[in-house]
Amino acid sequence: MFNHFRLPDVYTQFRKAVETQCQVRPSLQMPDRLKSLPAGFEEGDIPTLQDFGQEDPVTDPRSAFPCSGGETQALQRLQHYFWDTNLVASYKDTRNGLIGMDYSTKFAPWLALGCISPRYIYEQIKKYERERTANQSTYWVIFELLWRDYFRFVALKYGSKLFFPKGLQDKPVPWKKDPKLFDAWKEGRTGVPFVDANMRELAVTGFMSNRGRQNVASFLTKDLGIDWRMGAEWFEYLLVDYDVCSNYGNWLYSAGIGNDPRENRKFNMIKQGLDYDVNGDYIRLWVPELQNIQGGDVHAPWALSNSALAHAGITLGETYPLPIVKAPEWSRHINQKPDSGGFAARRGKGPSLTPKQHRNRGIDFYFSRNKNV
């Protein structure tokens, strides 16, 4: 199952072999210019998917990344996000979104495949700041690109430790490998709607928001105690922006064995769901079984009364699973009202987070609030 864990070794050997060859035979070094094809050479057509007996993939209309690959598309995306719409100037307010194309840059898939370079993006941000506006949002895109760099340096520093169950900290954790729990997670059948919606989005589209990734990783490793590498490998299999350094670096971080300065960081699925999907629209988009539950109540169907469930056409354990685990801290965000129609999803005081409040969310994922740590 973990065959690819040997990849870095293979890669190192391959690189060494190429370097040795280049030293021995300088002609193998990258030429400045390629020779033209021999006269009369027939290039032929680039084969289509149909030539290989495959259908063109159908894009799900709900996808947050309904784009194609290639440099041209990447440049068009940057043109749209920066220059045509100025979305970059409000990135910090929107970046924790869950639905649609424009809550974040969506540069990651093109970056991962080398269709666009982070330096080019950086130069374009600087140009945008000179010509239009420089604010916290424009800075924040650079800041996120720095995280990408950071995880590269982490990988360089720690090498194959990136794939060890004990992580960078050499911390023994009794990870479980329960296939039933793992399958429920990867197939979006945990009975915890915020997890299920995200996992289904990933399976159908190959993309998941950063907010979603942090939550499902925390759920797998902290709530289920499953070997973090199984989650990382599932992401590796599906993500259209899969990148070894960003994926394994973030997973280690989420699993609490990377270089997170904060001990025991754990996300609360109900609180997170209510903070970032207060009306439950994201859940109903990806978990249609729950579409008749109104508002934020959709985040904890098990807390609804029997009559409310019947009214919504749901039989827990049949039409939608009972939760495979319930963390005690979740109840702080659910007002159980067994005699009423539903439960009032409790968000603390006041309405959902304002964009300004949202802005600073997520910073605490990477930085400790406790200066002593």
Residue list for the binding site = 91, 241-243
- The DSSP element (H or E) to which 4 belongs, if any, is none
Find tokens 């009369």 and name the residue: 40
CB 352 within 8 A of CB 278: yes
The distance of closest approach from Cβ of residue 353 to ligand FAD in the complex, given in angstroms and rounded to an integer, is: 17
Q: Provide the token pair at 321.
A: 């699973």
Identify whether the C-beta of residue 297 lies closer than 8 Å to the C-beta of residue 309. Answer: no
| Binding-site sequence positions for FAD | 91, 241-243
| Total binding residues toward ligand FAD, as defined by CB under 6 A | 29
Of 221-240, binders to ligand FAD (CB under 6 A) are: 235, 239
> 44, 218, 281, 312: which is closest to 302 by C-alpha?
312
The Cβ-side half-sphere exposure at 303, using a 13 Å CA radius, reads 22
Segment contacting ligand FAD by CB under 6 A, of 108-116, 183-191, 280-288, 342-350? 108-116
The two structure tokens encoding residue 135: 């604010």
State yes or no: residue 168 binds ligand FAD (CB under 6 A). Answer: no
Of the candidates 144, 64, 75, the residue with the CA atom closest to the CA atom of residue 100: 64
Tell me which of 67, 77, 82, 106 binds ligand FAD, using CB under 6 A: 106
Q: Which is nearer to ligand FAD, 238 or 327 (CB)?
A: 238
Determine the Cα angle at 289 with ends 286 and 294, to 5°: 85
Instruction: Indicate the residue among 223 and 243 with the shorter CB distance to ligand FAD.
Output: 243
Which listed residue (104, 124, 138, 198) binds ligand FAD by CB under 6 A?
A: 104
Q: Does 95 bind ligand FAD (CB under 6 A)?
A: yes
Q: Does the protein bind ligand FAD through residue 275 (CB under 6 A)?
A: no
In the bound complex, what is the minimum distance in angstroms from residue 323's beta carbon to ligand FAD?
21
* 163 is a site residue for ligand FAD (CB under 6 A): no
Q: 176 has which bridge partners?
A: 226
Report the alpha-carbon distance of residue 230 to residue 217 in Å, rounded: 10
Q: How far apart are CA 99 and CA 285, in angstroms?
A: 9
151 token code pair: 């995880």
Indicate whether 251 belongs to the interface with ligand FAD (CB under 6 A). Answer: yes
Q: Which is nearer to ligand FAD, 185 or 235 (CB)?
A: 235
Q: Which residues bind ligand FAD (CB under 6 A)?
A: 95, 104-108, 111-112, 141, 144-145, 147-148, 151, 209-210, 213-214, 217, 235, 239, 241-243, 246-247, 250-251, 254
